[in-house]
């Protein structure tokens, strides 16, 4: 009689255990759904645990105990280990230089420099001086990255400017002066374009400026925020959106986005179809093609020469000038002569004592050395 009573009591205990564990498992499943942490593995764990437990209880598995039931929820709550987060790609020297130089909108001012233009009292000194003499331009030097094309230029840059980058090109020496349209000159222009495409790919917008452009006023005041590319032109026809304006790639503002990244890549690759031509001339061909229009570029804004002028076509009044470019000019010596005169004109214009007594100083003097250089070339 006592044996039957003990069996009945054990069966009752087991019955309660089944009920309690079943309720616990249902609660676990409900919590998983309610907290939105449910995974494909969760349901299989719960189902398998219930099956094992019930089957062992129904078959009278005497090895099953309360201790094993207590271990069950711990096993169920073990989730699969999360996949490891991939490490970010390591930064190279250019990443570091861009991060230090760009403004808070990830825009960087870029100019390129070779050994000939890096000599003391030559182009790079005149270029940097213009930032100091311009209106609202001095602080922009903090966002200027000078890209040296050879070791000589890089060494000079390190002595005169805090932000320098050495763009190495295997098998090419860019240190000497590159005469307009020679083979080395074309290589230098296309290498520069490839480099700008790389910067856009890294997510930085660019204001590119040739070093023979004087910065007289802060140009950001006149740059549109919506255009993909804004560019100067040698001659301006009055319509900023007319692609028939003759583009000049010496001064450009390029926003980094999918359209500009794609366009710059295609522009660089097109060099193989136009041997013997510089990148600026190829652009003046591509802009008329159907493929260019298909890219959906919010392209030009061509910049008015009234504000962004050069020796090809200058602003008539210094009151309007933002930059001055030594375009339509061949030879470093000729550029230095006429840009030096232009900066003298600007300094006198900025001197209130001289300017007030001579209104004629609001005009530029003729760029005679550059005009003469072009007549020889033509």
Residue 44: name the closest of 35, 52, 54, 56 by CA. Answer: 52
148 phi, psi to nearest 5 deg: -85, 135
Q: What is the pLDDT of residue 233?
A: 93
- Rounded Cα distance between 282 and 75, Å, is 68
What is the mean pLDDT of each successive set of 10 residues along the chain, which is 378 residues long? 53 56 54 44 47 48 45 47 64 93 96 94 97 97 96 96 90 58 74 92 96 97 89 93 89 94 88 83 79 62 94 92 96 96 93 65 88 79
Q: What is the pLDDT of residue 75?
A: 45
Q: What is the pLDDT of residue 300?
A: 61
pTM: 0.72
* Residue 294 CB contacts under 8 Å (≥ 6 apart), including other chains: none
Q: What is the pLDDT of residue 185?
A: 74
């Amino acid at each position: 009689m006592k044996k039957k009573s003990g069996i009945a009591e054990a069966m009752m205990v087991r019955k309660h255990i089944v009920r309690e564990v079943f309720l616990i498992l249902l609660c676990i499943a409900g919590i998983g759904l309610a907290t939105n942490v449910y995974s494909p593995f969760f349901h299989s764990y719960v189902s398998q645990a219930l099956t094992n437990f019930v089957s062992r209880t129904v078959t009278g598995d005497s090895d099953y105990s309360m201790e094993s039931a207590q271990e069950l929820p711990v096993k169920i709550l073990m989730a699969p280990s999360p996949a490891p987060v991939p490490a970010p790609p390591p930064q190279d020297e250019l990443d570091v230089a861009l991060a230090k130089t760009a403004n808070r909108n990830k825009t960087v001012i870029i100019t390129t420099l070779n050994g000939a233009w890096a000599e003391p009292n030559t182009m790079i000194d005149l270029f940097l001086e213009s930032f100091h003499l311009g209106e609202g331009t001095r602080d922009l030097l903090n966002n200027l990255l000078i890209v040296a094309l050879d070791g000589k230029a890089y060494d000079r840059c390190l002595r005169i400017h805090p932000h320098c980058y050495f763009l190495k090109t295997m098998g090419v020496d860019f240190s000497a002066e590159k005469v307009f349209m020679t083979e080395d000159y074309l290589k230098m222009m296309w290498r520069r374009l490839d480099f700008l495409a790389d910067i856009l790919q890294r997510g930085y917008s660019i204001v590119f400026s040739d070093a023979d452009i004087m910065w007289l006023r802060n140009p950001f005041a006149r740059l549109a925020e919506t255009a993909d590319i804004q560019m100067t032109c040698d001659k301006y026809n009055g319509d900023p959106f007319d692609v028939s304006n003759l583009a000049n790639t010496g001064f450009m503002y390029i926003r980094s986005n999918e359209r500009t990244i794609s366009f710059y890549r295609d522009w660089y690759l097109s060099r193989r179809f136009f041997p013997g031509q510089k990148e600026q001339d190829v652009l003046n061909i591509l802009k008329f093609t159907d493929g260019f229009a298909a890219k959906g570029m919010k392209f030009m804004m061509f910049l008015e020469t009234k504000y962004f002028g050069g020796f090809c076509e200058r602003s008539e009044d210094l009151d309007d000038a933002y930059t001055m470019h030594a375009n339509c000019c061949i030879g470093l010596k000729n550029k230095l002569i006429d840009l030096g005169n232009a900066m003298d004109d600007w300094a006198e214009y900025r001197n209130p004592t001289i300017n007030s007594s001579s209104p004629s100083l609001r005009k530029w003097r003729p760029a005679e050395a550059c005009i003469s250089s072009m007549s020889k070339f033509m």
